[in-house]
Amino acid sequence: MFDLVIRGGKIATATDTFNADIGISDGRIAALGTGFDGADVINATGKLVLPGGIEAHCHIAQESATGGMTSDDYRSGSISAAFGGNSCFVPFAAQHRGMGVTETLDLYDSRATGSSVIDWGYHLIIADPTETALHDELPAAFERGITSFKVFMTYDLMKIDDRQFLDILTVARRYGALTMVHAENSGMIAWMSDLLVKGGHTAPRNHALSHPALAEVEAINRAISLAKLADAPLLIVHVSTPEGADLVADARRQGAKIFGETCPQYLFLTRDDLDLPGMEGAKFMCSPPVRDMATQDGLWRHLQAGTFSVFSSDHAPYRFDETGKLANGPEASFKQIANGMPGIALRLPLLFSEGVRTGRITLQQFVALTATNAAKLYGLTQKGSIAVGLDADIAIWDPEEVRIVRAEDQHDNMDYTPFEGRELTGWPQTVLTRGARVVDGGKLVAQPGQGRFVKRARIDLTGHPGVIVPELDPAQNWGTEVRP
Ligand code: URP
Ligand code: ZN
Ligand code: ZN
């Protein structure tokens, strides 16, 4: 007799699809089989039973360096995530210059604890890599279960230089942490932005012109080179160009510990969305920017070919009002508009409907991209699959349900969705975190605070040997012993 049985569903993991009951006790998957009985039973006949999604790129209760606050806190952000089929998320804890790392993590703990309805962790954004931060606070953060760090190569108040990047990669490598990077060339963006503004080209669509594809390609190339030199794992987040993805694929073929992520906006939107009348285009502004149909096609091919390990929302919610996108008024230039768009509830339905149902990717790829690979990369060792002993983090989907996307159905604290009006087929109906229902039959049944902080383990680098550059290889450098 189990606490809960999910009966009669079709289970899919990153490797298999099979029919079985799931027996759940004490929040964990206790058995897979048939004919199970439980104190509580969910009838999943005709449904797909998938690992709960792990949303590994989202901005929740986060101030930007210029002071703007995202509209979602840990309550609304986690609820929206759960309605979108996620049972765990890993938002960012953002260090700003002058802040300590420990102070940053304490601040985000106070924001998340008691609020989240699903399990959570943080990636630590490092904007001020002082000696204390690098050598005392990062190891302490690692001990606390924060095993991934994000750095920026652009944004004046956040960016680090190449030397600092190498220092962070080195510390991360030593502790088994994963560094994530926002890779765009800052100088190219500043130069293009100034040219555009001086010419009077200030409407939202100019955001796309001010972030040329070349700026991403150059920065990804540089970031990968730095990671190779340090022989450290690196994930390039929100890759928006096929050329950038080519660099990720090349580095992976060489054995380097390089990983890539892309996001729905780059597969489903184009710069024509930025070119709407008035300020409407501001709703579609994110960095890197959305581009064109050829870009979408190229990124889909990379998704199919396995270049990307994770597919994340980059949910960065700023309302279309004076608290968000219009904080600098209705005449603001594209440079003064907050970057980012919402999508935490739509990441999985978009990829399921337009990826799995159309046959572009397999159900196994879907599970790997949305849950299993994130668990491995981010040290969520209890999550990401359906197997005996793992947390019962499960999403039960109706693969045939058809819905039109509407902003009011997102359960977030936003006033628009960039995907308004799309018809999608296949939706999550019930989501469990550690065996407890969070969303059930389209209704929220969890209490804020039901989620728990997850202390994460080191990155699993099995199958990624790394590369040692000749200058650091004693066999090729006259036996000189220098290792980062
Ligand atoms: O435009 C975006 N993506 N805003 C969120 C911050 C980031 O760079 O990921
Ligand atoms: Zn970014
Ligand atoms: Zn982001």
The model's pLDDT over 92-128, given as tens digits with 9 standing for 90+, comes to 999 999 999 999 999 999 999 999 999 999 999 999 9
What's residue 482's pLDDT?
87
What's residue 65's pLDDT?
87
123 ligand 1 Cβ < 6 A = no
Residues 6+ apart with CB under 8 A from 469: 228, 229, 231
Q: What span, in angstroms and rounded, lies between the C-alpha atoms of 484 and 467?
A: 13
Q: Using an 8 Å Cβ cutoff, are 256 and 466 in contact?
A: yes
Q: Using an 8 Å Cβ cutoff, are 181 and 234 in contact?
A: yes
314 ligand 1 Cβ < 6 A = yes
**3 state DSSP class of 414:** coil
Q: Which residues of the chain have pLDDT under 50?
A: none
C-alpha 90: how far from its chain's center? 8
Q: Using an 8 Å Cβ cutoff, are 341 and 265 in contact?
A: yes
Q: What span, in angstroms and rounded, lies between the C-alpha atoms of 409 and 436?
A: 23
User: Ligand 1 pocket test: which of 287, 291, 310, 312 has the largest number of ligand atoms within 8 Å of its C-beta?
Assistant: 287
Q: What span, in angstroms and rounded, lies between the C-alpha atoms of 116 and 385?
A: 22
Q: What angle do CA 47, 425, 310 make, to 5 degrees?
A: 85
How close is the Cα of 340 to the center of ligand 1, in Å?
A: 5
**β-pairing verdict for 2-12 and 258-262:** unpaired
Q: Using an 8 Å Cβ cutoff, are 176 and 147 in contact?
A: yes
Residue list, CB under 5 A from ion ligand 2? 182
What's residue 160's pLDDT?
98
User: Residue 109 has which token pair?
Assistant: 């703990």
Q: What span, in angstroms and rounded, lies between the C-alpha atoms of 245 and 297?
A: 12
Find the helix or strand (DSSP H, E) in which 43 lies.
strand 38-43
What's residue 368's pLDDT?
98
59 ligand 1 Cβ < 6 A = yes
What's residue 41's pLDDT?
98
**3 state DSSP class of 251:** helix
**Nearest alpha carbon to residue 169 among 220, 218, 225:** 225
Ligand 1 atom closest to the Cα of residue 285 is 1
What's residue 330's pLDDT?
92
How close is the Cα of 163 to the center of ligand 2, in Å?
A: 20
- Concatenated DSSP letters of 239-270: ---HHHHHHHHHHHHTT--EEEEE-HHHHH--
341 ligand 1 Cβ < 6 A = no
Place of tokens 């952000």: 77
**β-pairing verdict for 394-404 and 28-33:** unpaired
Find the helix or strand (DSSP H, E) in which 179 lies.
strand 178-182
Q: What span, in angstroms and rounded, lies between the C-alpha atoms of 293 and 239?
A: 15
What's residue 373's pLDDT?
98
